[in-house]
A and B are shown apart, each in its own frame.
Chain A
Amino acid sequence: MLEYLISKYNYWMYVVIILIGFYGMMAKSNLMKKLIGMGIFQWAIIFYFMSISAKKGATLQIISGHHGAYAVARAVDYVNPLPSVLMLTAIVVAVATTGITLSVLILIFRRYGTFEEDEIIKLMNEKGK
């Protein structure tokens, strides 16, 4: 049992982090806390992708000069570069999400003066009448 838990350690950690993020998004009524939860949620996925490219005893995906033309053949020595490249894009996406959400939140705060969801809904209903 312990073997099983430890051998899949990175996956367990990602599950825990992603659930923390999911809880923040779903259960919190403060919009800023929802945003924080969303950030944790996205970063959990990035960590997960990074952990699957890791390899024991492997090095960075930079082929230095003295390996020569045969360096490519020894793929065992290097960690998988593709997840890193993918996550470079995913980080940009995560940053853009945070940026957009923050700008929407600024506008919400200017209009309603609060981040609490129930208060905002109350204010919206009052204005509707």
Chain B
Amino acid sequence: MISEQFPALIVVTPLILSFFIPVVGWWRRSLCLPIVLVALSVCMVSAIGMLDTVLKHGKISYWLGMWEPPWGIEYVVDYLNAYVLVIVSFFGIAAAIYSKRNVEKEIPEHKIPQFYTLLLLNITGCLGIVVTGDAFNLYVLLEIASFSAYGLVAIGSEGALVASFRYIVMGTIGACFYLLGVGYLYIVTGSLNMENLRILLPPLYDTRAVQTAFVFILIGLGIKIALFPLHTWQPNAYTYAPSAVSVLISTAMAKTCVYALIRIIFSVFTVDFITRYVPILDIICWVSVVAMIAGSIFAIQESNLKRMLAYSSIANVGYIMLGVGLATFTPLGLTPALMHILNHAVMKGCLFMAACAFIYKAGLWDIRDFTGLGRRMPYTCFAFILAALAMIGMPPSVGFITKWYLILAAIDAKQYVFVAAIFFSTLLMIVYFWRVIEIMYLKPVEGSKGNEIKIDEEPVSMLIPGLALAVLCFLIGIAWVSGVFSPITEGVNSRFGLGIVP
């Protein structure tokens, strides 16, 4: 059956097709995007197929080349992977459809095939990170995803080159720290398989090598997800990257790295380790709270819309990591963090699509120039407002659900400071999003141009993904409430031994 081969297909299909793109693009450029879409559709079908199998039969274990796991590379798909795989492939497709028109404008025509090659390689790397069950394999795929992201960022506008260089330096430090941590684990256990490591590590938890390895991996992946003090590469990279790339790396790529961190913390190491030997969760909570507030304050100071959204991403990574940090203190377990992985991707994808549409159609990136935009691009602005309201936390949007569950988790943990921090950062979010909405709709247009504004909407291929995500902001919120996704979150929590308060 082909469905047994899904774990391999989801990585191999986009990998092979990405190398066809330059060849085919040399012959006919218009075929590049269809190839990307075909590859991503295969990924999407595989991801949904695997999610279905996991929900029905439990964990999938795929032996590459039929080599038995501790020696060979194993691909493992459980509740957490399957969920993230669907998210990554969905946002891959959304970004690819969105890229169609603005690539023609932003990128020199002869470079379009290379652009799509890198785009597909980036998604390949992300999917590989999610599907693999081998710690070293994760490093290699992390580098595949990062390299293509470096290249994609460097294609962008003025300033992109320096942003890309900083991203390379920081990203390499992150990946090297991860590799060092894996090396330490390999020295003490002699194994690289995650499942095997989980079994071999417990007797060695009090050795300093294992504890150092954990810290190295945590900091390495912390750089990749742009957790607050390690975020310095992120705002410039998101700001100067081409539009489709901003959408892609702020959704698929960022969420993949968060997934890798959760996988390492809870699956390679266990709850026992992080509660008894290296009590890191308190530190993660406090760092996340600082990220939530500092990211929002930076966002308020920004007048460049894309950079404002980038800082807002830093704040939202704080939300996700706060969910991770509170996981062992509450019966909700990882639920808030898992929710915000999807929720933030939907909201930030929509916001970046709208922000890049303003640049594409009107050439506007400075918030202060947005006067009259609400009448000029009504649908795009509508999508932007829906996503902004979701971000602020209007019920029943996704942002509200995350905040609600995070507050419940914080109350369970008896950490009322965190409740206050969530409210405070929400207030700051209202400040910076309201400022944009106010200028877009309410501020009068100067001079006599006010009456001459005509509707000048972005192309349909850019509008549809944006509007779809804006609607999803609310539909997914309702889905969370109605418990459609609860088998997934319960599955993840029970597999990691979370959800029971000690």
A interface residues with partner B (beta carbon < 8 Å): 22, 25, 31, 34, 38, 41-42, 45, 48-49, 52, 82-83, 86, 89-90, 93, 96-97, 100-101, 104-105, 107-108, 111, 120-121, 124, 127-128
B165 at interface by CB-CB < 8 Å: yes
B474 at interface by CB-CB < 8 Å: no
- Contact between chains at B159 and A124 (CB < 8 Å): yes
Report A-chain residues with C-beta under 8 Å of the C-beta of B158. 124, 127-128
Q: Between A and B, how many residue pairs show CB distances below 8 Å?
A: 67
How far is the CB of B356 from the nearest CB of chain A, in Å? 20
Known: A25-B173, A41-B176. A108 touches B147 (CB 8 A): no
Beta-carbon nearest neighbor of A49 in chain B: B183
B interface residues with partner A (beta carbon < 8 Å): 136, 139-140, 143, 147, 150-151, 154, 158-159, 161-162, 164-165, 168-169, 172-173, 175-176, 179-180, 183, 186-187
Known: A25-B173, A86-B136, A124-B162. A104 touches B179 (CB 8 A): no
How far is the CB of B368 from the nearest CB of chain A, in Å? 15
Q: What are 7 A-B contacts with C-beta separation under 8 Å?
A: A25-B169, A82-B186, A93-B140, A96-B143, A100-B151, A108-B161, A124-B162
Q: How far is the CA of A49 from the CA of B179 in the complex (A)?
A: 10
Known: A89-B140, A93-B140. A104 touches B169 (CB 8 A): no
Beta-carbon nearest neighbor of A108 in chain B: B161
Report A-chain residues with C-beta under 8 Å of the C-beta of B143. 93, 96-97
Known: A45-B183, A124-B159. A104 touches B168 (CB 8 A): yes
- Contact between chains at A97 and B147 (CB < 8 Å): yes
Report B-chain residues with C-beta under 8 Å of the C-beta of A93. 139-140, 143, 175
Q: How far is the CA of A33 from the CA of B175 in the complex (A)?
A: 20
For B172, give its contact among A97, A104, A124, A127 (CB under 8 Å). A97
Beta-carbon nearest neighbor of A34 in chain B: B169
- Contact between chains at B172 and A41 (CB < 8 Å): yes
Known: A45-B180, A52-B183, A96-B147. A101 touches B165 (CB 8 A): yes
Report A-chain residues with C-beta under 8 Å of the C-beta of B147. 96-97, 100
Q: How far is the CA of A34 from the CA of B175 in the complex (A)?
A: 16
Report A-chain residues with C-beta under 8 Å of the C-beta of B151. 100
Q: How far is the CA of A38 from the CA of B175 in the complex (A)?
A: 12
How far is the CB of B241 from the nearest CB of chain A, in Å? 13
Q: How far is the CA of A108 from the CA of B165 in the complex (A)?
A: 9
Report A-chain residues with C-beta under 8 Å of the C-beta of B172. 38, 41-42, 97
Known: A49-B183, A86-B136. A38 touches B169 (CB 8 A): yes
Known: A97-B147, A127-B158. A31 touches B176 (CB 8 A): no
Interface of A is mostly: helix
Report B-chain residues with C-beta under 8 Å of the C-beta of A101. 165, 168
Report B-chain residues with C-beta under 8 Å of the C-beta of A90. 139, 179
How far is the CB of A110 from the nearest CB of chain B, in Å? 9
Report B-chain residues with C-beta under 8 Å of the C-beta of A105. 165
Report A-chain residues with C-beta under 8 Å of the C-beta of B139. 90, 93
For B150, give its contact among A31, A89, A100 (CB under 8 Å). A100
Q: How far is the CA of A107 from the CA of B159 in the complex (A)?
A: 11
Beta-carbon nearest neighbor of B177 in chain A: A45
How far is the CB of A31 from the nearest CB of chain B, in Å? 6
For A41, give its contact among B161, B173, B187 (CB under 8 Å). B173
- Contact between chains at B176 and A108 (CB < 8 Å): no
Report A-chain residues with C-beta under 8 Å of the C-beta of B183. 45, 48-49, 52
**Extra pairs beyond A45-B183, A100-B147, A101-B165 (19, CB < 8 Å):** A25-B169, A38-B168, A38-B169, A41-B173, A41-B176, A45-B176, A48-B183, A52-B187, A89-B136, A97-B143, A97-B147, A101-B168, A104-B150, A104-B154, A108-B161, A108-B165, A111-B161, A120-B162, A124-B162
Report B-chain residues with C-beta under 8 Å of the C-beta of A25. 169, 173
Q: How far is the CA of A97 from the CA of B173 in the complex (A)?
A: 11
Greatest chain A CB density within 10 A among B154, B158, B169, B175 is at B169
Q: Which 7 A-B pairs have the closest CB atoms?
A: A108-B161, A93-B143, A107-B161, A101-B168, A104-B154, A104-B165, A104-B164
Q: How far is the CA of A5 from the CA of B186 in the complex (A)?
A: 23
Beta-carbon nearest neighbor of A80 in chain B: B190
How far is the CB of B256 from the nearest CB of chain A, in Å? 18
How far is the CB of B122 from the nearest CB of chain A, in Å? 13
How far is the CB of A8 from the nearest CB of chain B, in Å? 12
Report B-chain residues with C-beta under 8 Å of the C-beta of A111. 161
How far is the CB of B35 from the nearest CB of chain A, in Å? 23
Q: How far is the CA of A45 from the CA of B378 in the complex (A)?
A: 54
How far is the CB of A46 from the nearest CB of chain B, in Å? 9
For A108, give its contact among B150, B162, B180, B186 (CB under 8 Å). B162
How far is the CB of A106 from the nearest CB of chain B, in Å? 10
Report B-chain residues with C-beta under 8 Å of the C-beta of A128. 158
Report A-chain residues with C-beta under 8 Å of the C-beta of B161. 104, 107-108, 111
Report A-chain residues with C-beta under 8 Å of the C-beta of B162. 108, 120-121, 124
- Contact between chains at B187 and A97 (CB < 8 Å): no
Q: How far is the CA of A108 from the CA of B151 in the complex (A)?
A: 13
Q: How far is the CA of A22 from the CA of B177 in the complex (A)?
A: 11
Report A-chain residues with C-beta under 8 Å of the C-beta of B140. 89, 93
